[in-house]
A and B are shown apart, each in its own frame.
Chain A
Amino acid sequence: MIDSLYIAWRYICYNRFKSATLLICVTLIVSLPIALNVLLYESETQLMSRAAGTPLVIGQRGSALDLVMNTLYFDNEAPEPIPMAACEEIRDSDLALPIPVYARFQARDNPIVGTTLDYFEFRGLTLGQGRMLTMLGECVLGASVAERLGLGPGDSLVSSPESLFDLAGIYPLKMRVVGVFQKSHTADDLAVFVDIKTAWVIQGLGHGHQDVTRLQDPSLVLKRSDSSVAATAKLYHYTEITEETVGSFHFHGDLADYPITAVIAVPCDAKSGTILRGRYTEAGEKLQIVVPEEVIDGLLQQIFRIKSVLDAVIGVVATATVLALILVFVLSLRIRQREFYTTFKIGGSRLTIARLIAAEMLLIATGSSILCVMASIATALHADYLVRMLFIR
């Protein structure tokens, strides 16, 4: 058999393009369904585990899926904002611990999540380096963000403007990195966490500038009276919050009206959760409360329905490919009739010829199996990223 394998190997090497095509076809037929199953299993695990760990999410009425995906995975599609007052109402009700989430902005393609320290405790995030947020303008990075951007405590990260051409829009804020979380293998690894007020500063709702009461430059002062000073547009606004400038940062208006994208509510008990859910079912209520597990379960049902269609499509394509391969193989045998006859004339038996063909098939099958295993391992290793890319972001 070793001699047959040797001859078969020589044949495969000599006809490398034909063999490679055959190898790729077989590999694709086998590995595609495997990869699809691995990805779906991973997506189910990933989506459900995070959803199951988030009891309730409150947000603006609209797509429940958008709300959950933004709150749990900081999806780019931010839902309509709700006022911070929604969070305070839940706190006042004593039914649940409210955690505000404001996931709208980005820093170098990574979502900036404005929240409170409760979020980190709720998710069980622990610091790998540095310290927690203590001051406005600071950020703590998810492990993957820190790794990808090569940042650590002491470095700085600038938020991305929403639109380069919108002069009245959001200006970038230079944030100081004070800590990096340990890897949690969740969406938290891919986020930049800031205090909710820092998120508002990024939006421009809070700002810091030169002290107008001490301005001497007449070009900076528009109007001065005993009670107020009106500054011109030339007034310098800070784009970085430091210990020297932090005192100048302030917010206009009522913070209760400030926007957040959602509130994660952690009910004290099942009863409190039920009562809380009941409060948002009234007609005319502008907010909605959703159970992420139910929403994600609905999404998965959709995905599995699509998967069954995909399975059928793959089945048809695989059958067609197998038939084409059989045809190619049979034609190849016919073309090689003379070669086989020569082997017979030299002294080879029909069994020898069958062994040669079997050896070629065995080598192709072995090569395809190795490639399939490699493809499956690669898919499994990168399933986390692929699931995020295909199903989440």
Chain B
Amino acid sequence: MITIQQLQFRYPAGNFQLVMDRFTVARSEKVAVIGPSGSGKTTLLNLVSGILLPGAGSIAVGGESISRLSEARRRDFRITTIGFVFQDFELFDYLNVLDNILHPYRITGALKLDRNVKARAAALAHEMGIGGMLKRHPDNLSQGEKQRVAICRALLPRPKLILADEATGNLDPDSKIRILNLLFRVVDEHDATLLAVTHDHELLIHFDRVVDFRHFRVREAA
């Protein structure tokens, strides 16, 4: 699903540089990315999703070379193929829970918003335990509830690749497992792939593979 070769990336300001000779994630694989803060985990997710472009090397997602796509096609590709759960939820305060979940459908023509989508959004929210909060605004939600909304937003377009940046970071232990199981279920149902950044070492056993970012090197684990 993801193939990275000879990747080099550095931010215009600062000394940070991410170098990856080769990194692959197979379809339907559930991969956890661990590593200390500042090691480039979030940068990797941004590169895979096409938000950032590599200085050198190539990144292919589902056989499509991200960096070779035009900006418009890269955007459409991102919104239709990739579901991104951001580290700080990045919800819109002025939108209620339902509108936040439906937001990707409202900002692009690549996704079509209809009754079915709205019904699916409500069902997904219900499944996530936030079904009774659809009319609430994020500032009236707990951290955990916000995280669930962010996950719903990422999952609703049924993406082939889910990128999760600390998706369970703000949840209690029970909820972590529940959310993770839901993520895994969606991944399995849609034959999707999960690449998740986490600091929670207790959850690592649930993943197929763990990638350690220490020293900017990729280590494959059993």
Contacts and interface: CB of A to CB of B under 8 A. Distances in A.
Interface residues of A, number: 21
Given A7-B106, A10-B99, A347 B76 contact: yes
A347 B46 CA distance: 12
Contact of A3 (B72, B78, B107, B153): B107
Interface string A337-349: 0110011111111
A338 B93 CA distance: 12
B105 to A, nearest CB: 8
A163 interface: no
B11 to A, nearest CB: 15
Contacts of A10: 94-96, 99
Chain B interface residue number, banded = 20 to 34
B79 A3 contact: no
A3 B75 contact: no
Contacts of B86: 342, 345
Contacts, number: 62
Given A10-B95, A347-B76, A342 B90 contact: yes
A352 B107 contact: yes
A15 B72 CA distance: 31
B90 A349 contact: no
B104 interface: yes
Nearest to B99: A10
B79 A349 contact: no
B106 A15 contact: no
Contacts of B75: 347-349
A14 B79 contact: no
Interface in B28-84: 46, 49, 51, 71-72, 75-76, 78-80, 84
Question: Which 5 A-B residue pairs are closest in the complex by CB-CB distance?
Answer: A347-B79, A14-B94, A3-B106, A348-B107, A342-B90
Interface of A: 3-4, 6-7, 10-11, 13-15, 338-339, 342-349, 352, 356
11 contacts: A3-B106, A10-B96, A14-B94, A339-B92, A343-B107, A345-B90, A346-B104, A346-B107, A348-B75, A349-B71, A349-B108
